[in-house]
Structure formats: C-alpha cells, structure tokens
Structure 1
Amino acid sequence: MQSQASEFLKETKIVRAGAGAGKTRNLTLRVLDWVKEFFEQEGRAPKLVVTTFTVKATQELRERLLLFASEQGDPLLIDYVRSGNYLQISTIHGVLSSFLRKYGHGIGLDSGFEVISGMDNRKSYFYWARRIMESNPSYEKLLSVYNFSDLAKFLAKYYEGYLLGKDLSPTTSQDIELDLQNRFQDFQSQCKDVGQRVVSLAEGHDSKGKTKENWIQLGNVLLSLSQIDFSEMEDTFSSAIARISRKPSNPAKNPILDDATHKEASELWDQVKDMVKWPEEIFPFVADYQEFNECFQDFANEFVEAFLQDRLQNSSISMSDIEFFAAYLLRKNPDFALSFASEFDYWMIDEFQDTSPEQLHLLKHFIDESPYYLVGDPQQSIYYFRGADQSLFHKEEERLRSGEGGFLLLMKNYRTKPDCMEFINEFMGQFGFASMETRDYKEHEDPEQAAAEFLIADEPLEENWMIANRITELLNEGVAPSDICILSRTKKAMLEISACLQEKEVPHYLHTSGSFYERREILDLLALLKFLVHPHDSQNIIELLRSPWFFVDDEKIFAWVEQKEFSWEQLKNKEDVSIERLALLKEFAEEYGISSALEKSIFESGILESARKYDSSGKREANIWKFLCDLREGERKAFFSPLSYLRRAEELAEVSNEGELEAAAALEPNRVQLMTIHASKGLEFPHVFVCRMNKKSKLSLTMDYYEDDKKFCLPVPQGEDGVKRLPLFSKEKIKQIQQKEKEESLRLLYVALTRAEKCLYLSWSDKIEKNSWLENLSWELSDEIYKREKYSYLVKRSFENVVLAKDLMEHSDWIEQWQGQEQDYFKPLETDSVSKLLEQRTEYGRQQKKGEEEDFYTAEHFKKRMDRAADGTRLHSVLENYVAAVSVQKEDEFVESLSAEESEIIDALLAMDEIPFSELFHRAQLEWGFILKLDSGRIIEGQIDFWAKDDSDNIWLLDYKTGSSGFSDKAFEQLKIYAFALHRFYPEAQINMAIAYVKEGKALIQSYDPNQALPWS
C-alpha cells in the first residue's frame, strides 16, 4: 500500500463482540468505511478479502453491505459491493480454493480440479489401500488386527499429517519402555511423599483401633513401593495388594487424614491396583507396537505416494483436502503465498474464534504484511471437533493489545430482552462467562414477565410432552409458530419432540443434516428410478406397488407372489391400472430418457401434488426438485451410469452422517423450528426451548490413533480379551481432549441461551447426570415463580393437556393454488431417439420385434442374449478403462492388471492396421451425448460411445462388436445417424465409420457421405 495512506488504513485490529452485540453490523460498517477511505487516499478500488464461517454468512454479509451502501446513497460503494473483482467475500475454504486454482500447478494440481463427495473420498481410500495391500503380502498382517475401515481412518490421519509437513516416526518399543519407567519413577516419588504424610498423620492421631493401624500399614506399604526396582514390581505389587485387602476408611467425625492427603492416598492405591496388571497386560505386548507401527508406516508411505499422485493426476480432491493441499503447496513453494498476498490490500476475518491452528498458519502467510481486522467471540467457539482452537483468539488479542495493534470490545447485547439477558448473565456466570451489558426495555416489553421457565419432568417422555404442551399454549396465546425454536444437542431428542408436536398437530419444521436420502419422498423416487433402470428387482417392485403412487392391494401382490408370477415380464401383462401406468412409463423412459420419465411421473402420479398439499413449508417439494436436478446434472457428465448413481444414493442413505443436506424450502415456513444448537449459530428467536439440560456432555473416552508433533502410534491387542489399546501415554492426551470438550460444552450452552430475544424455556427430567449443564445447579426449583432483583423465573413440574386451536392446526395453511392446473411448460420436448430412427429406416420393425419377444424367454435364447450382453458390457468396460488409463499414461500398468481374455481384446484392436487406434485412444470422446434440431423442427437425441480425431484431423466414428460381421448393415445405419450429427458440429472434417469385430479380428470401414440424403433428415 502507498505510504500516504492514513493510519486508519494501516490499522490491524481485533474485535471481541459478544452475543447480540452487533458483530455483523460492525463488520459491515468497517468494510464500507475502509473502502471509502481507501478510495479517497489511493484513488483506486481496493482489493479486499472478507472470510466468514459459512456460505450463508457470506450471503448475509453481501446483502447487508448492499443495503448499507444503498442507504448511504453512494453509487461508487454500490458498484464496489456488487463487483466480484475487488471484493471477495468467501469462506476460508473458498479463499484456499482460489489459491489452489491459481497456484496449484506448483504441485501438479490442475486449476479445474473437482471437489468430490465424502463418500467418493472414502471409496478412494479403500481402493488404494486394497491395491497396495495386494501388491505387498507383508502388509497383510495388518489385516489380522485391523479391518479396512480402521486402516482407512489411520491412513487419512497419516496422509493429512504428511500434507501438513509433519515428519512422523513410529512409536517404538524403547519409547514405550521409557514411558513406563518414567511413570514408575513418578509413582515412586509420590509414594514416598504421600506415604510419609500418611504415616505421620496416622501415628499422631489421638484415636485407637484398627482404622488407625490400617492407615499406618498403607503408608508403610507406599513407602516400601517407593524403594523397589522396576524389575521387581510384579511380585512386590501383588504382595502389597495381598497385605492391604481394602483401602481404609477416613471417619468424617474424626478424620485421621486431611482431605488432600486422603484423596492422594486413595488415588495412589487405585494406581497400585492398575499397575499390578502391567506385567500381564502391557509388558508382553510392547514389542507388538513397534512391529505394527513400522509395518503401517511402510504401508502408509506407499499409500500416500500413490494416493497423492492419483489425486493430482485426476484433479479431484475432497473438501478437507483443500486445506491440506494449500499447506502442502506452501511447503513446496512458499513464494506463491507472497504472490497471493500481493493481490490484496486488506483482510477481514469473521468468526475468528472458530479458526484452527492450520488455518491461522495459512492466513498469516496470505496476509503477510497487509493490515487485517479480526472479529469474533471466544465465548461462542463451538467447533473444537473440527479443529477450532479458541486459545488462538486470546493469544492474538493479547498480542495486539500489548501494542502491536488495536482492540475493540463490544459487550452490549441489543438482541435479548434485558431481564432475559440478566438471567443468562447469572446462569452462565457460575461457569465463569463474562456478562453482557443489557439494552433498555422496548415499549411493548413487560419487565414483570418471567425471563425464563424451567420445565422439570420425571422422565424424558414427559419432558417431550411438557415442551409440546407449553408450545401449544404459546400458539393459542397468539405467538407465531416461526417465533419459537427448540434447540437440542442431538437429532434423537429432536425426533422424539417432533413426534409429540405431530400428535398435537403443531406445525413444525425439523432441520436435519445427512437425512436427504432417508426422506420418504426421496425413497419413493429412488424406488421409481430403480424400476426404470432395472425393472427385474422384485423387492423394489413390491416397494413401488405399495406406495400411494402406484398402489396395488397387498392381497393382490401376495397372490402374484404365491403364483410365482412376480417378475416384471409376467407382471407387465396383468390387467391392473398401476401396472399399466408403470409399463407406459418404462416405454416413455426408453424413448425420452430416464430423467424425463421421472419428471413425467412426478407430475402425473401425484407425488408433487401430495408434497404441496401435505407440507406447506415447501420442504418436500424442494427435496423432489433437488433429486431431479441432481439426476439431470449427473446425466450431463461423461461416463454417467444410472446404476452407479443408484448405488451411490443407497450408500449415502446407509451413512446417516454423510452430510447430504435436505433442500431448503423456497419460502421461510411459519412453523416451530427444531434444530441442533450448532445449526442455530447466528440465528435468533423470541422464544427458545433448550431440552435435555440434565444430560451429560459427550466426551471422548478413547482414541483409535495417537499422534503428536513427532510420533504416531496404532492400538494393538492386549490381554486375554484382545481389546486394542494405545500405550498409557495416550491417556494424558485423552484427558486434555476431555477438558477442552467440557469447556466447549459450556460454550455450546451459552450459544443456545443467547439465541433468545424474549424468553427461555429450559427443560430436563429429574435425573441429573454427571458432567451435565445442571450438575452443580443450586437454584430453587419448587413449583412456583421466583423473583430476583433483575429478573424472575418460573418452575413448572406438571402440566395439563392443552388442545391447539383449530385454525392453528398443522394443515390449516395447505397450499393448493397449483392443484388441477395444467403444467404445459414442464412437458418434455418431442424428440426422436436413434433407436426410433433405426426402426423407421430398416425393416427391423415392430412385427419382427414382437416375434422376437415371444421367443425371448426360452432358456436357450435367454442364455444366448445374456452371454452376448455380458460380452458387450465387458468389452465396453475394458475399452472405457483403457482410454482412461491412456489419458494419464498408465496403459501398460492397466493392461498388466487385466485378465488374459481382457488383454486379448486390447491386443486385437491394436493389431487392426486399418484403424489408427494408437492415435484415437489419446483423443477419444466417450459417451458423447448430442441433441440436434433439424430444419423441419424435428429433434434428434442420442449418445455416441466412441469417436476421435486422428493426427490428420479426420474423425473416426467407432463401434466395437463381439458378434459376427455378417450383421453389419444395421450397425452402419446407426453409425450414419451418429455421423450425421457429428457432421453438423464438424462440417469440414472427413468422417470414417468403423466397426471393429474383436472376436474375428477384422474391421469394416465406410466413409460418410454428407450429400446422401437420409429419409428422416
């Protein structure tokens, strides 16, 4: 930046903005003020980066900026905000993706890389793990202990560590032995200290009796253990436990030991009982750690090399890869970060409290010496499980406040009603949270109304009904459904409460992730799609016929099954309306395509009408359109396979945490909202329910893979039970993780409470669990209202059933404006498929086809057709994969992996001198789809399996057959149609039509004559 820029432009600042303190407003004004100042000082538009945590937040910020710029009436600002060239508002992953697309070539990553799904990423891990395992039998011993799922997790951790630059070495036997010896020495030091105190206190106590003697004995045992050698521990510890049958008591009225000494002595004795197991459960398996860790490292190094090369060559990376690849690129070429940094004048980082150490490392390189502006609230850091580290905010704040930058504190809450905010301040104050300053009451707000209500039930089911009942009361009082939100830590609780709301006919909207393929409307569409692709799946047909859209009575279905008449070939001749509709739909799909048939059915079967009628939120309809759009997008991609699409959808349906979100409704529904606390971040509602307050926080109890800055370690089987365990040093890390999880759990509660604008409703059942939010609650909880100085709260321990007013019930707001309306604009265009043109062109008409169908189900004919189909499918697959291998220069490796029969296919093709296969394979266009509109208005649609240009730019249109060359006429007729289409795209090129008969080892070639008229052209 130029030297005459003002101090304001050069300023680096961190802003701590509490909940409801106007963080987004502050950031918006800062952007506009900074841009205006820069225009005045520099005379040009600044290059500015603003990172937010979510895509939704980026959209909200851009809308705010445009609104504020419009209010200021500054055309220059409005144009600037609208411009994507100067103002980049993005998530951190968006910034990293931009960096990789510009400079990824430094590691061999193509700028057009594709971001693949989590499911596809896991498949890649499994694929490469298996390939490497098969290539080296020495790695198979890993499978004697770990399954492929475990290995994939370990490999993912190791791979990430490699990209981040961690030079990890395997944990050895010496590492574990040294750790055990150090633990033993620490234990002995404690035994000496605590043993001396126990003996001294017990001997000096004025009591007489067995308890005093037992404590003296225990103290002496601890002292004796402090003097033994490590090699003697097995016999000595066993003897000690035999001498002390049980730990002595410490009478409350006249205690022999003080509380601290009693606690330390008890913990040491528990430790003795654990350590006595070492010789049996740990010592014999120490060598196994080194053996398996070293084997895994060799395996993982091969995996990383192959996997990384595959990622780069195929230009496909996962969402998590974006961050790791950016770090990898920086390690390889640090200068790229400087080049990227020079492109921008200023950086603003929103939600800085949710930044991970790896992300901060990258940002520091990108920002370089440019000024920056950080905004966040460490009290709302709730993404530790994603790597966020709230301590980074505190460290940066401390650094900038010490004189290296500016600091701004925004701790006045403008969102929440003052008494409700005072309740939150006191409730969270018991956990050490900083209080927020309250705003003034608004005219319509009642200071006497309870700021919070405690709904206390005897058991969880009753809690669900208390919530549903209280919401019913609020709705009857005139509260809008969309003003109410229920927050939960788990999806299970939301579903249970949703069931109660459903029974009371309360309109509600359940926000869930990873459940798209579990939705009923999507399951119905999947069943229909599977039928169109593969109608011979009897189980799927039953599911389809039991749906409302193609309904057949169960008794009729049962009768068909009993009569062994349940194949589609038998069913399609049944006189049944649903069967006839399915048969017509199948014919439509063959003529117009699968997605067109699916869309036709969506309108005609009642699926769409039902979605509109029974879900006024628009969620079901949005899911239907999302499914159809996803299918159509897939169809446009090369190598699309409907069966593969179905398999992927079924796999995602089985993986509930896959993160395939349900579609968002077009209009915000006026319904009670149910969502997780994480999903509520950044939102606000007048009435907020927080359920299951008594449930313990979910803490990590074990680790399945250990890693620090220098070492990694896999768990190995130990003891008679064979349970896989990590070395003892992993326990310290687990304790650290648990402590951070406990702290984050409280921050999660803080986020939940601060969503409320008017009133909070905290619910639980009487059994309060350890490590829950209520573990140390000391408030008065009798069934009444409690008035405190700045707020009041109400306790309810019972409820009377309340019925929702009829005009507020679930289906009172049905949307029926589309019912019965003709949807002409959704009808598919009348198109002609290539197969239809062939029927018109040849005598291979319907009569001959009918005769063939009559003979189709004889066993001999069926076997011949199936054999031919299998041969053709195998040939197509081999060539498709060979072309892919050629594109990445791996054809030799691919051919080596083929069977002898498959290898002969490639050899046979390359031996055909008439066709320049070696040239064509490098330029092949596979599964090339086209749609042509003729001068007559007729539309032709088709897909070419294989075409390519040779070195002379002549086009070769290729078909490959496993059958006899005696039936080439029809094949050439089909190629002429394809050649006609290609000629429309490439009118100057000479087109050669070639058919390769693999089993005969011969090729037939014809030149396409564009002047020869075709009957339908």
Structure 2
Amino acid sequence: MTAQQQAISASGSVLVRAGAGTGKTYVIVERYVELLNRGLRPLEIVAVTYTERAALELRARIRTRVQQTHGHQPDLLAELEVAQISTIHALAARICRDHPAATGVPPGSSVWDEPDAQLRKGQWLEDAMLQVELDPFNALGYSRLRQMLEVLHREPYTAYQALERAGSSWEALIQDVRAEAWRDLQERPAWVAAVTVVSTDYGRDDDAIERSRRIAVQGLERIEAGEPLTGAGLLATIRLNGGKKAQWRDLESVKAALKTLRTLAGAPLLTMAYGVADEALRAELPLLSSAYRRTDDVLAQRKQRALALDYADLELYALNGLQQPDVAAYYARRWQHLMIDEAQDTSPVQAELLGLIGAHGDLTVVGDDQQAIYGFRGAGHNIFQEFEERILTAGGTVVTLQTGHRSRVALQERLNIGARAVLGETARPLTASRTDGEHWPTSLMGLIDASGNEAEVVVTTLIQLLKEGRPIKDAQTGQERSLRATDIAVLARRWSDLNGIRDLLTEQGVPWVMAGGGNLLETPEARDTWALLRFLADQDDSTALLALLRSPHFSISDPQIDRLRQDHTPGEAWWLTCGRSRDPIVQEAVQILEQVLREHMRLTPRRALQLTERLTGYRGALARWPDAERHLVDLTACHELVETLQAPLQDCNGTATRLTRLIQAEHAILRPPVRSSDAVTLSTIHGAKGLEWPVVALVRIDGAARAQPPALRLASEFGVAYQREGEETAGLYTLLKETGRQREEQEEARLVYVGMTRARDYLICSSSRPAAPAVQTLMQAGILPSTATAEDAPH
C-alpha cells in the first residue's frame, strides 16, 4: 500500500505530511470520496482550505470525482453543492449567520473587504485615542502609542493573551529560557568541538593566547557550575591577538575555537537577564493595556453602529459562539468529519476555532511544515505539530508522503540537496516518480553576478532557453514539447525585486504578466492618482504638484523643472511659481489645472480624475507605453479604488487623506491580473504557493526583506515588551526579539524552499551578493556556483 493509499483509507483521524508536489489535493479529494463510501453525507463533512481559489478548485475536483464514482445522483450532487467546502473565514461567517445571538454578531452586519477595513480602522483608531486617559500619552507619547496600538489591533486574539501575561513570572521565564538555551548550546557540535580544543591544547605561560585559553577554561567552569552569565562574561573578554606558533601544537585551531566560544556564548538568549528595565516595563505596561482595551471597546462600538465586520471579527465571533454549549452541540450533531488543508498556515485563533469544530468527530489534517510561510499574517509556527500531537494522542494515524510527482528525477535530486541546505536536518527528501527527461539538458542553473546586473543575467538566460527551445513536459498532454514563454515564472520575495526583470523583458520584446497582480499602490498610476488628489485638495502641496508635472499628465522634463526652480522664491508655493512661468508647456499645464480646480468642487473625485485625464491625454499616453494593457488595467483599478475611498463626503480632501493612510501603512491591494496567452509570469513566492511551472527562476535569493522593527513585540506564550527610550534593554524584550528573529529566519529558509519547489523541469537560482550567508550556504551545497557564472548555464 502506498503512502497516499494509506492516508486515504486510514480509519479515524489522520494527519498527512504532504511535501511539495506529492499530491496532497489528490489525497484530500480521494479521502472525501472514501468518507462518502463509508456512509457520511456531504453535509456531515467540513473541508477548509486557505484561499478562495483553492476552495473553488477543491469543490470542482470533488464534484468531478463523485460523479465518476457514484454516477449521476441528483440528491447527492445537490447536497455537495451546498456542503461546507470553503475558506476558514467563510466557515466562520456561516457560524455567525447560523447563530447570530450566540456569537454576538449585530443583526444586519456585513463583512468589509480588506482595503476598506484597513482604512476605516485607521480612522476610527484616531477617534478612539481621544477617549484614552492622559497617562498612557504622558508615558509613551502620542505617535509611539499609536504605533503600538496599531500592532496590537492587527492581532487582537494574540494581543489579549499577551497582555494578560504582562508582568507574570517574567524573571522565572527568562531564567528558564536562558537555561534551555545553554543546554542546547552545549550539545551543538561546534561548541563541543571548540571546548575539546581549548581543554586539550596548551601553550606556554607567557603566551598571549594561552592567557586567553585559561580565561576560556575559567568561563567554561563557571558555566558548568551553574553560573552561565558569569561564564559568558569571562568568554566575552577573550582576546585573539598574539600567540607564537612554535609554542602550540596547532595555534590557528586554538584561536578558531576561542573565537567560536566567544561568539556562541555572546548570543542574546544566553546573556539576557531580568533587571531594572524589566521592572520599569512592568510598571508601564498597564497603561498600554488600558489604552488598548479602551480603544478596542470604542472600535467595537463603531463597528456595531456601522454593522461592519472584518475577518478578525468573524473569527472571534465564531469562536465565541462555539464556546457556547448549545452551539457546540448543534455542530457536533451536524458535522462528523473535519478536513483541514494547508494546516501549517493556520493562526492560533483559527486553530482554536477548528479544534472546537472537530472536538466531537474525526479529523483529516493535511499540510507541510516545510512550507509554513505566513507567520507575518499570524500563522502559528508550531500549530501543525500541535495537530499531530492531538491526532496521535487520540489514536489516529500520521502519514508522510515521500514521492514527488512534480519535478523530474534530475531536478528532484538537486531540490533534495537544496532543501537540506536551507532547512537543515528537518528537510525531508522526496523520491521523484517522473522518469521522463533523462537526456534533457541539466535541470538546475545557478547564476551569480556580483556586479549588480543580476536581472540582466537572468533575462539573458531565459531568452537563451527560449531560443534553444528547451524540452519540457506539457502538463496538460503529458507530451514533450519545446519551451514557450508561458512555461516560465520568475519568483522573488518582494514585488520590487521584479522591477528590473520586468523592464528588461519589455526591452527584449518578451511578454510578461504579473500573477496575482502585485501591489496596486506601488504602480505609477497609483502614484499619479495620489499626486493629483493631493494637489486638488491643497494647492500648497508642492511635492504633489511637482510629481504631477513630471507624470504622463504633462511630461514636463527635469531640465524644465530646473528652469522653474531658478524662478522659484524660497518659501513660495510652487503653484505660484508655475503661474509666473513663460514656458508654454508649463503655461498649458497651469491652464488645465485651473480648469480642473474650477470644476472639481461639483465633481466626485473619480470624475475629477477622468476630467483631468481627458484634458491632458493621460490615458492615450499610457496606451503608447510598452505593456500598455497592464498600465491601462492598473488605471481602471485606481479609479475603482478612488470610488471606494470617496464615500461618504465625495470630496478630494477626504479621499486623498484616506489614500495617503493606505500608502503610508504600506497596505497591499492586489493589482488585477492581465491575461496573456503566452507570457512569462512574474510573482512573489507567496503568490506562487500551490502553483508550478516547467521553468522557475528564483531571483534575489540572497536574503530577506529588511523591515522596520515593530513598535512593540508580543507573543501569547511570553507577553508584551518594547524598548523604552534611553534605557537598557529589558530581558523580556530580548527574549521576544530573539525568538521572533529565529522564527523569521526559519520562515525565510522555508520561503526559499517553497520557491525552489515550484519548478517541474528546470530551476534557475540567482543572486548578486555572493557573500550573503544564504548564498554561501547554497554555494556549499552546489546549488549556486562559487564563480561569476554557472558552468551549466546555457551558452
């Protein structure tokens, strides 16, 4: 019996570890049919997955398979159409609809879409802060307190749990985590090897390195005696200067060992301590907690009056309902089996909600902890393991799928090496089932260009592959054919990392399409829209005016702007400077803007945009750009966004303010996709999850995005902490910062793994930073070359 068959036919509950390309959707569909064969009805089975796209695909595949196995049974098929096969949020909405009184949902409420939710919550938070007492503002300052509250309101479930732990047993917690970190360190091979060297190699008494070695031995003795902070302090004083080779068996090895001990013992988790800063933080946190609870109450009241819910509200209301005995009993009678897809992406509140739903029935949990990449959205890093423990405790089955059906043998072997390089000992190698393509060219191309021309190297390689007509396996027909543009995807961590690729593909005449759209707010059309609205709201906004003049509305060149600057009087609004200009192009721009200013008060903001575009020929200018269709689709999407933002007052000032808040909050609004029959796909790795292509180019593999540090850090198991200005770092803040950093680094490694495993036939990994740690790791594994170009790149 294969692992897939074992997972499908398992009695009771089952957890399925499904690596990339091992056929997890096939298992879920066949498991669903198996449950029907055992006598369950579709209305007794709940299946949840991560996205609406995945839910629609799952329902369609189940429907097709049920028709194949059960024939045309109208009652069964009709029941299947209304069965709960959906996202978790749709499931939560169902519970709130079924039991509005028990869940507490105000009658007539509707669910916000994400941009609207972000916008309104930002506005209402400002209003709510007016009802906070003065003490939190005096202690933290307005701007800082607002930033902290924004972080807490982003994850209300975790925020309340973390605030409840505020100040509780911090000292014991810090000591326990520190002690565990020391135990882990003393088992690390690098530490053990270094200890062995400094304990067995000796120099003369007057040798500088011998003095450092003895200090290290004293430090190690203090650590063994249960005084790790004293020991770490001694190791921190080690000096590596001096030393005479003739007096040592291997001086360089001793120096390397001393450096290893000093470095490893200086890790923040090993040296953190509870102190004065923690006491000050403990005294201040009740003020933050009071401000958060007050603003949360005000936001809840505003939402109730507006009859509006966001996704976090849906989850919390549904959880509240399921905690009522009568609601729990209702679903225990109705739902006998719960199927969870992509379980590694489940958040703590979602895990608790699903746990209550599945408390009285069996579970089918499918996922891959190697592909957990949504920690930034609140997904719990250890929830998949908790599902596994629950199922094993209940006598269920755990199955690991180890046969990969996506990548051909040659590529899968290299992917196994890459997985081990980025994931370490936790990596699970897969055996490829595909035996085709044995005589095709090499499956992996590593590209490094330290000169900074990474995009050029990647695009040149892709074009060469297209010219060669590299053989690939057609996913639809299963037959070999030559490579086409539509078979290629370029993936990166961030949309901005794809800009250079996009521009070069355009220059070379290679069509491309953004999968998932990217962020609409980062497009030129959004920036031009923002500039126009800001100018119409305030003619003294010179930054907006200059951006508008440079835009395709007027296309005023930098030399013309420089000439304007010569006429500009310091402190004067640029609008007045433009009015005095004798440049005919500037004069024409002023005349058009004056006409729009005269008429915009009677127009909605969207109508004002359309008037300006008609007078300036903006849309026609975009139509002449390369990839015109992409820009015109983005412009339409910007108009639709303004339509949403302009309510309720229909004025440019309010609309500009709302759009500014979205942009400054770095909110992401997906661009609508542009359909193309044969184009290279550009996507973030997150957007590519669950998808596959014959050729994948994974670019900028050298490291993670460097985000601004959050205003505060929180974890439900530890509490809440922040860095107090001008003071030493609290031990709890160090704990939260370091555990958070470790989780982020692990997630970054998994992100690389997800990107690599999207490829079916060929994988290109590229970087322009050969010295980056992630690149060095992949170099050592042979995934990236140690020279300027890869030997196996096409020529």
Give the TM-score band, short-chain normalised: 0.7 to 0.9
Q: State how far apart, in whole Å, the 2-side matches of 1:475 and 1:364 are.
A: 49
Task: Give 2:15's aligned amino acid.
Answer: I
Match of residue 496 from structure 1: 500
Match of residue 765 from structure 2: 762
Alpha-carbon contact 1:509-1:674 (below 8 Å) kept:
yes
What's the offset of the Cα at 1:567? Answer: 7.4
Match of residue 756 from structure 2: 753
Alignment of 1:351 onto 2:339: no
Q: State how far apart, in whole Å, the 2-side matches of 1:148 and 1:672 are.
A: 45
Alignment of 1:122 onto 2:122: yes
Of 649, 674, 680, 2:688 maps to 680
Larger radius of gyration: 1
Q: State how far apart, in whole Å, the 1-side matches of 2:732 and 2:779 are.
A: 31
Alignment of 1:380 onto 2:386: no
Q: State how far apart, in whole Å, the 2-side matches of 1:417 and 1:122 are.
A: 49
What's the offset of the Cα at 1:533? Answer: 7.3
Q: Which string of whole-angstrom CA distances, capped at 9 and with x for unpartnered residues, describes residues 828-885 of structure 1?
A: xxxxxxxxxxxxxxxxxxxxxxxxxxxxxxxxxxxxxxxxxxxxxxxxxxxxxxxxxx
Q: State how far apart, in whole Å, the 2-side matches of 1:243 and 1:743 are.
A: 31
Match of residue 873 from structure 1: none
Alpha-carbon contact 1:783-1:795 (below 8 Å) kept:
no
Q: Which string of whole-angstrom CA distances, capped at 9 and with x for unpartnered residues, describes residues 701-731 of structure 1?
A: 99833545465444324xxxx2x55422444
Task: Give 2:88's aligned amino acid.
Answer: I
- Identity in percent: 20
Alignment of 1:370 onto 2:361: yes
3-state SS of the aligned residue for 1:15?
Answer: strand
Alignment of 1:396 onto 2:404: no
Of 728, 731, 735, 2:731 maps to 728
Q: State how far apart, in whole Å, the 2-side matches of 1:256 and 1:545 are.
A: 64
Of 487, 493, 505, 2:491 maps to 487
Distance 1:567 1:34, change over 3 A: farther
What's the offset of the Cα at 1:678? Answer: 1.4
Match of residue 480 from structure 2: none
Aligned residue runs from structure 1 range 426-445, under 5 A = 426-430=417-421, 431-432=424-425, 433-442=427-436, 445=437
Q: State how far apart, in whole Å, the 1-side matches of 2:360 and 2:444 are.
A: 48
Distance 1:764 1:179, change over 3 A: closer
What's the offset of the Cα at 1:760? Answer: 1.0
Aligned residue runs from structure 1 range 60-209, under 5 A = 60-68=57-65, 74-76=71-73, 80=77, 86-106=82-102, 108-111=104-107, 112-115=109-112, 116-132=116-132, 136-143=133-140, 147-153=144-150, 155-156=152-153, 159-161=156-158, 163=160, 167-170=164-167, 176=171, 209=206
Q: State how far apart, in whole Å, the 2-side matches of 1:439 and 1:314 are.
A: 55
Alignment of 1:423 onto 2:414: yes
Distance 1:104 1:569, change over 3 A: farther
Q: Which string of whole-angstrom CA distances, capped at 9 and with x for unpartnered residues, describes residues 413-461 of structure 1?
A: 222222212221233245342222222434xx452411111223233x2
Q: State how far apart, in whole Å, the 1-side matches of 2:176 and 2:344 are.
A: 40
Of 705, 719, 731, 2:713 maps to 705
Q: Which string of whole-angstrom CA distances, capped at 9 and with x for unpartnered residues, describes residues 293-347 of structure 1?
A: 343344444444444444444443443343344445555x354344344443432
Task: Give 1:26's aligned amino acid.
Answer: V
Aligned residue runs from structure 1 range 445-594, under 5 A = 445=437, 447-459=439-451, 461-478=452-469, 479-510=483-514, 515-526=519-530, 547-549=551-553
Q: Which string of whole-angstrom CA distances, capped at 9 and with x for unpartnered residues, describes residues 365-414 of structure 1?
A: 12231333222222222223333345433453465467723455433222
Indicate the RMSD between aligned Cα atoms, in angstroms: 5.4
3-state SS of the aligned residue for 1:493?
Answer: helix
3-state SS of the aligned residue for 1:363?
Answer: helix
Q: State how far apart, in whole Å, the 2-side matches of 1:652 and 1:102 are.
A: 34
3-state SS of the aligned residue for 2:712?
Answer: coil
Task: Give 2:765's aligned amino acid.
Answer: L
Match of residue 477 from structure 2: none
Alpha-carbon contact 1:690-1:763 (below 8 Å) kept:
yes
What's the offset of the Cα at 1:654? Answer: 3.4
Q: Which of the pair is proportionally richer in helix? A: 2
What's the offset of the Cα at 1:350? Answer: 1.0
What's the offset of the Cα at 1:150? Answer: 3.6
3-state SS of the aligned residue for 2:489?
Answer: strand
Task: Give 1:622's aligned amino acid.
Answer: V
Match of residue 852 from structure 1: none
3-state SS of the aligned residue for 1:439?
Answer: strand
Alpha-carbon contact 1:485-1:672 (below 8 Å) kept:
yes
Alpha-carbon contact 1:454-1:794 (below 8 Å) kept:
yes
Alpha-carbon contact 1:163-1:324 (below 8 Å) kept:
no
Q: Which string of whole-angstrom CA distances, capped at 9 and with x for unpartnered residues, describes residues 734-786 of structure 1?
A: 444444334333322221121111111122346332355626715398799xx
Q: Which string of whole-angstrom CA distances, capped at 9 and with x for unpartnered residues, describes residues 908-935 of structure 1?
A: xxxxxxxxxxxxxxxxxxxxxxxxxxxx
What's the offset of the Cα at 1:483? Answer: 1.5
Match of residue 27 from structure 1: 28
Distance 1:216 1:548, change over 3 A: closer
3-state SS of the aligned residue for 1:413?
Answer: strand
What's the offset of the Cα at 1:469? Answer: 1.0
3-state SS of the aligned residue for 1:46?
Answer: helix
Of 695, 698, 701, 1:690 maps to 698
Alignment of 1:411 onto 2:411: no
Task: Give 2:447's aligned amino acid.
Answer: L
Match of residue 360 from structure 1: 351
Q: State how far apart, in whole Å, the 2-side matches of 1:589 and 1:751 are.
A: 49
Q: State how far apart, in whole Å, the 2-side matches of 1:441 and 1:220 are.
A: 56
Which deviates more from structure 2 when the two are superposed, residues 748-757 or residues 339-348?
339-348
Distance 1:607 1:707, change over 3 A: same
Q: State how far apart, in whole Å, the 2-side matches of 1:454 and 1:732 are.
A: 37
Q: State how far apart, in whole Å, the 2-side matches of 1:700 and 1:539 are.
A: 25
What's the offset of the Cα at 1:631? Answer: 4.1
Q: State how far apart, in whole Å, the 2-side matches of 1:206 and 1:583 are.
A: 85
What's the offset of the Cα at 1:185? Answer: 14
Task: Give 2:121's aligned amino acid.
Answer: N
Which deviates more from structure 2 when the two are superposed, residues 733-742 or residues 485-494?
733-742
Distance 1:271 1:769, change over 3 A: closer
Distance 1:586 1:128, change over 3 A: closer
User: With CA pairs under 8 Å and 6+ residues apart, which has the higher RCO, 1 or 2?
Assistant: 2
TM-score normalised per structure 1: 0.61
Of 31, 53, 57, 1:56 maps to 53
Q: Which string of whole-angstrom CA distances, capped at 9 and with x for unpartnered residues, describes residues 165-201 of structure 1?
A: 97334369xx5599689979999xx99xx9xx99998
Match of residue 648 from structure 1: 658
3-state SS of the aligned residue for 2:431?
Answer: coil
Task: Give 2:670's aligned amino acid.
Answer: L
Task: Give 2:167's aligned amino acid.
Answer: P
Q: Which string of whole-angstrom CA distances, capped at 9 and with x for unpartnered residues, describes residues 60-100 of structure 1?
A: 3234345555667944369837965x223322122223323
Q: Which string of whole-angstrom CA distances, capped at 9 and with x for unpartnered residues, describes residues 959-982 of structure 1?
A: xxxxxxxxxxxxxxxxxxxxxxxx
Q: State how far apart, in whole Å, the 2-side matches of 1:97 and 1:237 are.
A: 53
Task: Give 1:62's aligned amino acid.
Answer: R
Q: State how far apart, in whole Å, the 2-side matches of 1:753 and 1:127 are.
A: 46
Distance 1:33 1:633, change over 3 A: farther
TM-score normalised per structure 2: 0.76
Q: State how far apart, in whole Å, the 2-side matches of 1:540 and 1:23 are.
A: 51
Return 5+ residue gaps in structure 2 as ranges. Answer: 1-7, 470-482
